[in-house]
Each structure stands twice: as C-alpha cells, then as structure tokens.
Amino acid sequence: MRVDIISIFPQMFEPVLGEGMLRIAREKGALDLHVHDLRDWTHDVHRTVDDTPYGGGAGMLLKVDVLVEAIEAVAGMDALTPYVVFLTPAGRTFSQGIAGDYAQRERLLLVCGRYEGFDERAFVWADELLSVGDFVLTGGELPAMCVIDAVARLLPGVLGHVDSAVEESFSNGLLEYPQYTRPAEFRGCEVPEVLRSGDHAAVARWRAQQAGELTRRRRPDLLE
C-alpha cells in the first residue's frame, strides 16, 4: 500500500513511523510512505499556507488554492488513484472497521488540517472526512499517524501471527478476552486454570465468554 501525507510539519512523522512495526512494514515493502510539505505549493516568498476567514472570527484557515494544488500534484505522483482523506474533527469517527476498509485500498492520501481548519471549498477534493474522536487537537498529524498505524498492521505480512489482527479488540464488535503470560502465579493472583489445561475447545469457550463479560463491564456502549 502507498500512503501519502500532506502536512505543514512533515518532520513530525519519521520519529514515529520509522520505529517498531511500522518500520518493519516499510522494510518489507508492505507500506510505501511519502510525506509532503504543504508549503512546497505556496505562491509567495513567505511560503504562506493560511489566511484570515471571511466574515471575521478567531484563527486562520488553510488556503484552498495551496491545498488543492498540493492534492492534485501528489495524486499525480503515482499511477494509482489515491483515496483522499481529510483529518478533521468534522469527519466520521475512525474505527477498526474503517481501518480494515482502508487496508483493502492500494493508495491513501491523508491531508492534515491545522489552525482553525480547512476552507470549506477544499472538501470537494476529499473522498472522506475523518476524525479520531470528539476532541480537538492542534493539527491532523497525530490522527494521521493513528490511521497509518491502525491500517498498516492489517496489511498482509506485517504482523508476526496471522490471527493477531483477527482476535483483538473491536474486530468482532467486542473487546479482546483477558490474556496472561508467565509466571502462573504472581502475588496471590493465578492464571485461570482453563488456560493451563491444554483443552483448546474449553479455552475458546472461556475466551468468548470473557470477551462478552469484559465488554459489558468496560464498554457497554459497544453492545448497543
């Protein structure tokens, strides 16, 4: 998968996307990542990407002409047509299901908002508006990293175990079942006997039951 990012702070990405599983995904060729500086498409010596909103109001808006020229230029850098996603609090809320949908695509283009957001006219060039939650950040860079991390780990060959992405939280609408590792006993707390029994059918039943109970206790909203 090719992922392009447009941001006014391109240097933010490598410290995160160059580590851990994302680094491995890139080394394996599963994730082809390209970060672009929005200021490369500005029209003045000051490399201005923002301006005051018509009608007044607090803050600044990203300029539509600069944004659109950047999107069109980046989209044309590869034969694959990108699915263009604007990171904005006004978008639909990101989820594991959306991550799975994105993982099926060949190319994403993530556009990071800043300041007070986007000129409304820029949204014509978006295939989707996406938010990572009902809160406001200083920009779309951190949400873009969240999206890339969630999507990249679903790409074939990235995770070490084929079932890792299937059995985890949200994949089936429930939280993941409790898990344990050695030692079998720690300060009076023991690993459930069923997990040490070697009875795979019993383990499967226990995990399904525990996933339901854990979801009811911690995230009842998921059951609604």
- Domains in the chain and their CATH numbers? 2-152 (3.40.1280.10), 167-224 (1.10.1270.20)
pLDDT of res. 159 = 87
Residue 42 parent element (H or E): none
DSSP states of 130-144: EESSSS--SBSHHHH
- DSSP H helical ranges for 44-122: 64-75, 96-103
Q: Which of 158, 166, 164, 159 is nearest to 32 (CA)?
A: 158
The label of the residue with tokens 């082809």 reads 32
Which of 8, 23, 3 has its CA nearest to residue 140? 8
Alpha helices in the chain (DSSP H): 14-17, 20-28, 64-75, 96-103, 141-152, 200-218, 220-223
CA distance 119 to 9: 19
Q: What 3-state class would DSSP assign to 126?
A: coil
CA distance 207 to 199: 12
Distance between CA atoms of residues 29 and 173, nearest Å: 30
- pTM (predicted TM-score): 0.89
pLDDT value at position 58?
86
Q: According to the model, what pLDDT value does residue 169 have?
A: 58
Q: In sequence order, which residues have a C-beta less than 8 Å from that of residue 50 and are 6 or more positions away?
A: 60, 61, 62, 63, 114, 115
Q: Could you read off the pLDDT tens digit of each residue along the chain, which spans 224 residues?
A: 999 999 999 999 999 999 999 999 999 999 999 999 999 999 999 999 999 999 998 899 999 999 999 999 999 999 999 999 999 999 999 999 999 999 999 999 999 999 899 999 999 999 999 999 999 999 999 999 999 999 999 999 998 655 555 555 566 789 999 999 999 999 999 999 999 999 999 999 999 999 999 999 999 999 98
